[in-house]
Amino acid sequence: MRHVRAASAATLALAIAVVATGCGGGTTSGGSNESPKTLTYWASNQGPSIEADKEILTPELKKFEKETGIKVKLEVVPWADLLNRILAATSSGQGPDVLNIGNTWSASLQATGALLPWDEKNFEAIGGRDRFVDSAVASAGKEGEPPAAVPLYSLAYALYYNKKMFAEAGVEKPPATWDELVAAGKKISKDGKWGLGAEGGNLSNNIHQTFVLAQQHGADFFDKDGRATFTSDGAVAAVKQYIDLMAEDKIIAPGNAEYAQNQSLTDFAKGKTAMVLWQAAASTFAAQGMKPEDWGAAPVPVPSGVPGAGKQTNSMVAGINMAVFKNTKNIDGAKKFVKFMTSDAEQKLLNKTYGSIPPVKAAQADEAFGAPDLKVLRDTLATSAAPLPQVPNESQFETAVGTAVKELWADAAAGRPVTTDSVKARLEKAQQTMQQ
């Protein structure tokens, strides 16, 4: 009986412990230095595969270990799992010390209070805030608050075009305005070929494109207080303009309405589609058998033809940031690791490998990022990209509006009319599902 009682008491204790850790959540106090010799790092899947990422990062982590004596345990997490993994880690308090986050999640994750805020003091520890490009830092958290993360890899949208298809259709230079883009697209769209590609089923992509168009219409999806304003005239016009590329102008193939696995890039590489709006597509094109001279990159069109700020915005600030879990057991080591990964040398090396742009100014100046397509991305980031709304319910916004746009694509593809009213009705519904 004594054994049984002991066993049941142990089981009960275990049960209580599990439940307690399950609902107690992570401590909200800052990290400590209890285990200064190890770190766990969740890297997002950046390269062609998880294995490739491990091969790229492992030598760098070894370098870091040699410099500091801190061993970094690496786990590469696929994109589709990353946000759920972070949420689980946040609610249980059992997470990595350092992790990658998508920069559009910054404000949402900042609101959980689980990430270390990068105030002046913490930025000093990694060489100062001034080392980073402003727009990249602006996309790392809510305005007026210390950022929730530090920029690591930066990306922006460009217009990629197929040189041969342009030549065949008699289009001389890449379009700089939307009118030129539609005109070029109409020349190309015949005989099974299409002017422009889209990813109608990809909610994030829908958001990125309509956000930029909304900026060009002088509209935002949120007001200053963070309240949703999805149905403003500018926002409605932006969404309609995007869908009309298929519904009205007929330069996007109807099949693109269901694309969500980057099929539009495959179509581009196969010569079925002449243009795509994409972030750093070079490595994908190469993997699909295109030679660098087959395609060109130009800034995404703007109304005036010259990209800039405000109504001439032509990209969202895309990228990956590096965050530190507040309850890390090795706060000093975590900061050292962030400093290492954002050092000029590592920035050059890693961004070169991944085809992204360093958010660190000194590294960005390196000639490796002067190739024509990367120069477009770099200039876009520097002058004409704007961060997505940094609001805590950004994730809800992406789902609600991204889905509305997805349904509108389905309407357009099925030949149902897409009108200002139907766009407004979808956005109205999206707005009403936003709680808080």
Partner 1 sequence: MTATVTTNPEVDKSTGKGTSRGTGGARRRLPRIPDRIRQGGLPYLLLLPAVLLELLIHIIPMVIGIVMSFRQLTQFFISNWGAAPWIGFDNYSIAVDFDAPIGEALLHSFFVTCVFTFFSVGFAWLFGTAAAILLQESFRGRGILRAIFLVPYALPVYAAVITWAFMFQRDNGLVNHVLHDQLGITDEPSFWLIGDNSIYALIIVSVWKGWPFAFLMLMAGLQNIPRELYEAASIDGAGIWQQIRRITLPSLRPVNQVLVLVLFLWTFNDFNTPYVLFGKSAPESADLISIHIYQSSFVTWNFGTGSAMSVLLLLFLLVVTAVYLFLTSRGRKGADV
- The residues that touch partner 1, with contacts defined as CB under 8 A, are 1-2, 4, 8, 11-12, 15, 18-19, 22-26, 28, 84, 87, 90-91, 93, 108-109, 111-114, 200-201, 203, 253-255, 257-258, 260, 392-393, 395-396, 399-400, 402-403, 406-407, 409-410, 413-414, 429, 432-433, 435-436
Please state the closest distance from residue 414 (CB atom) to partner 1, in A: 5
Nearest by Cα to 317 from 110, 134, 87: 134
Please state the closest distance from residue 321 (CB atom) to partner 1, in A: 17
Burial 292-306 (b: 16+ CB within 10 A, else e): eeebbbbbbbbeeee
Residues 30 and 28: their CA atoms lie apart, in Å, by 6
Please state the closest distance from residue 356 (CB atom) to partner 1, in A: 25
Give me 70's structure tokens: 């801190």
CB-nearer residue toward partner 1: 36 or 117: 117
Please state the closest distance from residue 388 (CB atom) to partner 1, in A: 16
CB-nearer residue toward partner 1: 209 or 347: 209
CB-nearer residue toward partner 1: 390 or 393: 393
CB-nearer residue toward partner 1: 110 or 216: 110
Please state the closest distance from residue 327 (CB atom) to partner 1, in A: 9
| Burial zone of 425 (CB within 10 Å; 0-12 exposed, 13-18 middle, 19+ buried) | middle
Starting at the edge strand found earlier in the chain, the sheet holding 150-155 runs 71-77, 38-44, 98-102, 318-324, 150-155
Q: Contact at 8 Å (CB) between 104 and 69? A: no
Please state the closest distance from residue 228 (CB atom) to partner 1, in A: 12
Question: Which positions ≥6 away from 85 have C-beta within 8 Å?
Answer: 42, 77
Residues 98 and 64: their CA atoms lie apart, in Å, by 14
Residues 318 and 102: their CA atoms lie apart, in Å, by 8
Q: φ, ψ for residue 126 (rounded to 5)? A: -115, 20
CB-nearer residue toward partner 1: 23 or 170: 23
Give me 197's structure tokens: 């590609």
Please state the closest distance from residue 203 (CB atom) to partner 1, in A: 6
CB-nearer residue toward partner 1: 7 or 309: 7
Classified as helix, coil or strand, 273 is strand
CB-nearer residue toward partner 1: 24 or 218: 24
